[in-house]
Structure 1
Amino acid sequence: MSRRHTNARHTTNLDDTLSLNPVFVRPGESTELPKFTIPDGMSLPETAYQIVHDEAMLDGNARLNLATFVTTWMDDEARRLYAETYDKNMIDKDEYPQTAAIEDRCWRIIADLWHVPDVDNAIGTSTIGSSEAAMLGGLALKRHWQTRRRAEGKPTDRPNLVLSTAVQVCWEKFLNYFEVEPRWVPVTEEHFVFDGHDLESYVDENTIGVVAIMGVTFNGLYEPVKTIAKKLDEIERRTGLDVKIHVDAASGGMIAPFCQPDLEWDFRVPRVVSINTSGHKYGLVYPGLGWIVWGDTDALPDSMVFHCSYLGGDMPTLALNFSRPGAQVLLQYYNFLRLGRAGFRQIQQSSLDVAGYLSSSIARLGPFELVSKGDTIPVFAWRLKPGYTDKWTLYDLSDRLRMKGWLVPAYPMADDLAEMTLQRIVVRAGLSHDLATALLHDIDSEVAFLDALDSPMPREGTGSHFHH
């Protein structure tokens, strides 16, 4: 008896350790596994889960991230659908024909929202995000321009694209990757968005198209698509140059149809040939989903379309990626069915209302001057009033708010206004009026703290943590 008792008391092996609860005294938690080489042995699934879970826990709270446009909340049924369908591969239309059919329904629904004259003569697709969709739109413009130039016996080695300096970085990637010269239209105090001013100075025979933004990421403002189109009409009458528009509606494409239905920015404007949007922004779907629609099949060059068999027929596909998730497409369709027009309108208007509440309240605080109000998309920005203080900047306020869990970025405006520092809030579903009130309280208290400083805050590293 005593011998067996002694052995039990003094023998400790790996199996004993692995059976211990809680998980934090098991190997991998009580010791440290390598981070940059694969471990030699296995871990229990609970241990591996806990290690990754605990590291992810060090990230910020997604709901309090007011820098991102990306959806951070979906309801329980959507999360259950996501868990049931995360293994579907969107590119494999033979294996997942119903997912392919639902993708087709979704872009047709979006085309109808954007007033495509004949949806049956249009074409669209899902993408990983609106960056991929934007690149497909730009590539279609380039291919059409090249085809036309070759038919005219003219060179095709110097394509250019006209766009604002305030575009999202995906357009810089497009210009770089697909070798297109940028014709940057600067934003200025007089022209805070690209509005077609002096457009004749940028357009020539090598122009493949013009990009207009419905929801500038710097400030949330819409670029006036119809005004830009009218200017291009004038240019065509004078020069014969027929230049088309691609609308980057990454954010506004799922706001304007519901909350500003009379605004003409989409396929009601004849020069608009293609539009992209982010399903994972105000399409209210978890990340990675974008959409692009061409107003008619002629707007998409045949050279960009690949064909595969689908239920005994032909399914055209186009994308820069190959394998990609199908679950987000199903989540988009879920949202369309779950919310309908009325639900989308209510959710988007609620976000606009919260943005209006926040922007008007911030405008009443002494230090700040609004540059937008959040009444286009629910995004607004402000700057410090000139001469208000030499003790602190918006970067300092951003850092103070970060210590309370809020991510409210500060950043320089686009190149030509780089001396202007802005701070921005993106309101999404999930930022309630109550949370907004808590944010205002924290902004007010941190401003009071900064105003009470005896000397200026240090400036090293200012603005290094946020980029457009």
Structure 2
Amino acid sequence: MVFKELLNFRLKDISYKRVLSSMCTVPHPLAVKAHIMFLETNLGDPGIFVGTWELERELIKMLGKLLHNEKAAGYICSGGTEANIQGIRAARNLKRAKKPNIVIPKSAHFSFEKIGDLLAVEIRRVGLDEEYRVDVGEVEKAIDENTVAIVGIAGTTELGQVDPIDELSKIAIEKDVPLHVDAAFGGLVLPFLERKIPFDFELEGVTSITLDPHKMGMATIPAGGILFRDESFLKLLEVETPYLTTKYQFTLTGTRPGTGVASSYAVLKGLGFEGMKRIVKKCMENTNYLVEKMGEIGYEPVIEPIMNVVAFKTERAEKIKEELYKRGWVISTIREPKAIRMVVMPHVTKEMIDEFVEELKKI
């Protein structure tokens, strides 16, 4: 009886087969199998779940290697919001300014508003250039003696654009300010593209990176990630945990499921670099196909897609979104410029795109 009740609730959820707005996707079968194996694990007490903790260390090494730093330190968390909090928290604790502030792009994720509130740091949003990347000149002007971090985005939520992280890195070094890169989405897309865009620890000024395996890594939710250049940054986050099997804890949450670690590891290890590259390539092919089909009915992209996120200009964006939702399709919108936005995840096929465009024509 209870499962029939649960099923009735679940059936009210919209299937990913009609979702073009989400940066999450259907978990890979490898992730699902690994998730089930680690259901009862709790990384909040690694002295008990020793094997799961060792697995997390192996996963961090894999991710660090992908981001050009095998000595990277970090952990798997609930998602990009927690990872961004920890990246900025470590920077704030390192700099210890009287009235701390962080300089972020106008395009930064709304999680930074939460960060300002939680960590009592001033948020200084700066403008973008014509390509919707952060204006480097404005970043320089906004930095002062109380700036504890600057932030660059590698895969903006609205457009999938990548800030000039190489230029931000130079500023970070010159001003002696930590540089946090929010690559929650792009972190597991950019390394697999044919076109190489610098954004990670290969750049000397980058001190921390957010990347989420439960997005393009196709892991089960929750599986976010925060990586630091080295372990010294984790020390800045430590608190004593006298009643657990370890003396200190550097994570934000106490209880942490091992399922995200296991499912992330299973996908990355099982598919390997080449397997991930094939999936990203397919997503990019489908993104280009979407641009082509939308062009046939008069929609132009705001920018040529950098990755598998694309927005199309229209003054009727909100109305279109509402009408599509009534028909069972989910897209999102952006405000500047007015546009409808889609994310072409692994669950999005050419057949799905064709069906969507036909529905759009009716509106």
TM over 0.5: same fold? Answer: yes
Distance 2:167 2:294 in 1: 31
Q: CA deviation at 1:308?
A: 7.5
Q: 1:203 to 1:442 in 2, by over 3 A?
A: same
Name the counterpart of 1:277: 211
Question: For 2:267, which of 335, 339, 345 is the aligned residue?
Answer: 335
2:84 matches 1:144: no
Matches for 1:42-441 after TM superposition, within 5 Å: 47-75=1-29, 77-116=30-69, 119-120=70-71, 122-146=72-96, 156-187=97-128, 190=130, 192-232=132-172, 236=174, 241-260=175-194, 262-298=196-232, 300=233, 302-306=235-239, 317-366=249-298, 368-374=299-305, 376-384=306-314, 393-413=316-336, 420-441=337-358
Identity %: 24
Q: 1:260 to 1:158 in 2, by over 3 A?
A: farther
Distance 2:247 2:67 in 1: 23
1:63–1:73 CA contact under 8 A, matched in 2? no
Q: CA deviation at 1:306?
A: 4.8
Q: Look up the equivalent residue of 1:82 and give its one-letter code.
A: H
Q: Say which SS state the counterpart of residue 410 (structure 1) adopts.
A: strand
2:310–2:342 CA contact under 8 A, matched in 1? yes
| Aligned length, in residue pairs | 361
Name the counterpart of 1:37: none
Q: Say which SS state the counterpart of residue 350 (structure 1) adopts.
A: helix
Q: CA deviation at 1:84?
A: 3.2
Q: Say which SS state the counterpart of residue 334 (structure 1) adopts.
A: helix
Higher RCO structure, 1 or 2 (CA under 8 Å, sep 6+): 2
Q: Say which SS state the counterpart of residue 262 (structure 1) adopts.
A: coil
Q: Say which SS state the counterpart of residue 362 (structure 2) adopts.
A: helix
1:61–1:405 CA contact under 8 A, matched in 2? no
Q: Look up the equivalent residue of 2:314 and give its one-letter code.
A: L
Root mean square deviation of aligned Cα: 2.1
1:373–1:381 CA contact under 8 A, matched in 2? no
Q: CA deviation at 1:445?
A: 2.9
Q: 1:255 to 1:316 in 2, by over 3 A?
A: farther
Distance 1:187 1:111 in 2: 29
Q: CA deviation at 1:363?
A: 2.6
Q: 1:337 to 1:315 in 2, by over 3 A?
A: farther
Q: 1:437 to 1:423 in 2, by over 3 A?
A: same
Distance 2:334 2:192 in 1: 30
Distance 1:65 1:380 in 2: 14
Distance 1:308 1:98 in 2: 20
Q: 1:260 to 1:131 in 2, by over 3 A?
A: farther
Q: Say which SS state the counterpart of residue 328 (structure 2) adopts.
A: coil
Q: 1:316 to 1:339 in 2, by over 3 A?
A: farther
Q: CA deviation at 1:169?
A: 1.2
Distance 2:219 2:296 in 1: 34
List runs of 5+ in structure 1 lacking aligned partners: 1-46, 147-155, 386-392, 414-419, 447-468
Larger Rg belongs to? 1
1:68–1:426 CA contact under 8 A, matched in 2? yes
Name the counterpart of 1:449: none
Q: CA deviation at 1:136?
A: 0.5
1:360–1:373 CA contact under 8 A, matched in 2? no
